[in-house]
Structure 1
């Protein structure tokens, strides 16, 4: 898609689905940009990059952000990795870092680079003049989001919040990816850059399922805790321990969210209120449901 075509597709307020191919990653694996331009959005408005869960429902995750987009004049872009082209966790959650034989692919070909290249294309097209974007990911998208922050440059990122990931890549080099960050070409500089970034981890205090098809159950995941709420605390503790070992700061924060379980819609509203209103809303205001989107 040319810059002019991208600008035309996003020239009016409302929803639009834009097919997108990233040649640097894998041209045989397209994605879809499910976008919403708020009614008051301008090229100087914040851009929110959204990463969906294992349901690959980027259109729904985009829609979770529509009220905030209209209220605050946002441009929302949910880069959607469809099951047909990105079928397994290795392709989406784990970023296509390794090929089918377990070999490390070139870093520029990792799927984690795609949302940032989309944002760069939005800038090149004049859709936005913002130098940096906000990034939110929930569930599998939270796995994607914190691994993106772990592996990619931060110069295009204004704020990063992840909600309810099923498990985490610990900020250590002595555990192989995806349990840690070892064996994929990262070094001390990347780990310390990750620890320094003020990432926010949202953890629903009712996200306490200990089994089920969407909860990662490999030994490395179980070692982080019995459920997502515990694993969020374990990840923060691991970050602080690694930072202390290195003699650097860990600037992450964990925000427990009372009354919310594994609910992508509610967590999206919580994140929007934190970013753009500076407040933590309660479960009732967030519209928490008994069963949210993955």
Structure 2
């Protein structure tokens, strides 16, 4: 009798737990199979994208989260993952905020197979060897990793019947590098706000330093600074993201000229741009946000970024 009662109690508790989980906004279960994206798609999952010509022989996984109460005008946020290439984790980190502010999360997976190394991801595949740029090794713009985003945005809006004319961008760590260089290399793209979070190092608005640390010897030499500084760029970093020995943090004379840790380098990047804008009497819309008590945690950074963009 006592054993039967124990089994009954366990069953009730299990059922109650399952009910709670099914009601939670944050516990949407992702399928292991790709979805066919359409206007009825909701919840979390991924689809396969291969319609962008230069990458037609490759299949890209794109993770998404679409809240249940979206409409044709719901905003879209692109999330750029870190060097771990863990797009699904970055998607999941945004679900709570997506429900709070009602926006769609799109997290492309820039896998190591399709976008190998820092040249093809962090540096956007602008050059064959981004650390040693030369006119002969400059890839065509169609081959840039940055060139994936605009046609992907069109693909998504068309398939889910979304009328958004612009999108938002958040990238953290290696993704923060992608985000700020995407803004620079694609000045006519349809992004509205860009959050570059906790980049390991930066391409600084400096015409005396060669790419990838500055603008010279790259297409950025012809950038119109007036247009660049009018972009809504948020440079985000945690006050505790100040470890000079952090894993994967680049150290050489060029990177260390920006500071010895991510906190110092974020401040250097912002200050160089701010001084340049002031010197040339240019309107300046960039903002530096230092989150007190935060370290390099991408989940914390994701929530902070969503607040900056949507609150």
2:281 is matched with: 247
Q: Deviation of residue 21 (structure 1)?
A: 2.5
- Structure with the higher helix share, 1 or 2: 2
Contact 2:87 2:107 in 1 (8 A): yes
Q: 2 CA distance for matches of 1:44 and 1:92?
A: 30
Q: Which runs of 5+ in 2 are unaligned?
A: 1-34
> 1:167-226 CA distances to partner (integer Å, 9 max, x unpaired)?
110113332221112222234444332222121111100001101332122321111001
Given the alignment of the two structures, is residue 96 of structure 1 paired with residue 130 of structure 2, yes or no? no
Secondary structure (helix, strand or coil) at the match of 2:69 reads: coil
SS at match of 2:119: coil
The Cα offsets for residues 247-272 of structure 1, whole Å up to 9 and x where unpaired, read as 31222110110010001000111111
- Map 1:254-293; keep pairs closer than 5 Å: 254-277=288-311
Q: RMSD between aligned alpha carbons?
A: 2.0
1:82 aligns with 2:128: no
- Corresponding residue to 2:93 among 27, 48, 64: 64
Q: Which has more radius of gyration? A: 2
The answer on whether the counterparts of 1:34 and 1:77 sit within 8 Å (CA) in structure 2 is yes
Give TM-score, length-normalised by structure 2: 0.81
The unaligned stretches of length 5 or more in structure 1 are: 278-294
Residue 45 (structure 1) aligns with: 74
For residues 9-158 of structure 1, the aligned pairs below 5 Å read 11-21=40-50, 23-100=52-129, 102=133, 103-158=137-192
Matched, 1:192 2:221: no
Aligned pair count? 272
> Could you tell me the TM-score, scaled by structure 1's length?
0.86
Question: Is residue 239–residue 290 contact of structure 2 (8 Å, CA) maintained in 1?
Answer: yes
Hey, what's the Cα distance between the residues in 2 that align with 1:173 and 1:26? 32
